[in-house]
Amino acid sequence: MTRHTLLHDILAPGGLSILFQPIFEIVDGEPLLFALEALARGPKGSNVECANVLFEYVRRKGKETEVDRACIARAVSAAAGVPGAPPISINVHASTLERDANFTGFLTETCNANGMDVSRVILEIVEQQRFRDERSFFAALGALRNLGVRIALDDIGIGYSSHRMLIEVRPELFKIDRYFVAGSAENEYSRAAIESITLLAQRLGGRVVAEGIESLSDFETVTSLGIDLVQGYYFARPSFPTSFGAPSPLFQPSAAH
């Protein structure tokens, strides 16, 4: 008999919940909704309710593919009815694209079943590690792009992201980790890293999203470095899909001029 584990709770109906955090595009100093990032949470009250613990656990179980599929199914279902049909950014492990032979079919079927155009999907690739089968990964990327899916690389600057990965994937969106963004006004080395990533994104034909903006000074710093896609508590905390598009009261549009 299989022992009951947290994984069973995660994959059970209602085990995962999805919050959304807006990514804003700054146009003429005003924040316009660019996309919603779907953020998974594990069963309420469990250790894996926290996303960091959830995905550490899932990776240690070697169940990235199953849980990624479950998160995507929940995210698409929750996002399908969001007014204005904004793009939805969903995290997926690089290993899932590499090993899940029918991932593209699964994503298409899931979107179709929820009446959502698959081209609304942005896939944020997380935890890029050394590939066992590089060809499968890039074949999946090609198939996804043919459907109109955009690719983002998450956690750029930390973890497993490398310049080689950036060049080979050439993501539409470069997501700079909060490590560099939060407090960047007071840290010239963080600003140097942001400038470097921004330059690389421009040369590779992508756009930069600054994650983890928590203050006006963070926001002013990244916009002064040419970044116009922003995400963080300064604008909006993750929330359930009710209404989006209105940035948090903290945000002062005049500051962006």
Partner 1 sequence: MLLVEDEPVVLAALKKYFTGEGFDVDCARELEEAEALIATTYYAVVIADLRLSGTYAVEGLTIARFIRHYSQGTRVIILTAHTAPAIQQSARAFGAEAFLPKPTPLAEIASTIDRLMGAAS
Q: Binding segment for partner 1 among 42-50, 90-98, 147-155, 213-221 (CB under 8 A)? A: 42-50
Phi-psi region of 192 (alpha: psi -120 to 50; beta: other; left: phi over 0): alpha
Closer to partner 1 at the Cβ: 54 or 166? 54
How many chain residues touch partner 1 (CB under 8 A)? 13
Reference 232, options 181, 156, 157, 159; nearest CA is 181
Write down the least CB distance from residue 226 to partner 1, Å.
33
* Contact by Cβ (8 Å): 55, 61: no
Binding of partner 1 by 50 (CB under 8 A): yes
Closer to partner 1 at the Cβ: 3 or 135? 3
Cα–Cα distance, 174 to 250 (Å, whole number): 25
SS3 of residue 27 by DSSP? strand
Binding of partner 1 by 6 (CB under 8 A): yes
Residue choice 47, 162, 224, 248 for contact with partner 1 (CB under 8 A): 47
- Rg (alpha carbons) of the chain, rounded to whole number: 18
Residue choice 36, 38, 48, 210 for contact with partner 1 (CB under 8 A): 48
* Contact by Cβ (8 Å): 174, 125: no
Binding of partner 1 by 216 (CB under 8 A): no
From residue 51 to residue 90, the character string flagging contacts with partner 1 as x (rule: CB under 8 A) and all else as - is -xxx-xx--xx-----------------------------
Q: Binding segment for partner 1 among 15-23, 48-56, 140-148, 241-249 (CB under 8 A)? A: 48-56
Q: β-strands 30-41, 17-27: how paired?
A: antiparallel
- 128: its two tokens: 């890029």
Closer to partner 1 at the Cβ: 6 or 153? 6
Write down the least CB distance from residue 21 to partner 1, Å.
20
- 255: its two tokens: 């500051």
Q: ∠ at Cα 203 (199, 206), nearest 5°? A: 90
Query: Given the rule CB under 8 A, which residues bind partner 1?
Result: 3, 5-6, 47-48, 50, 52-54, 56-57, 60-61
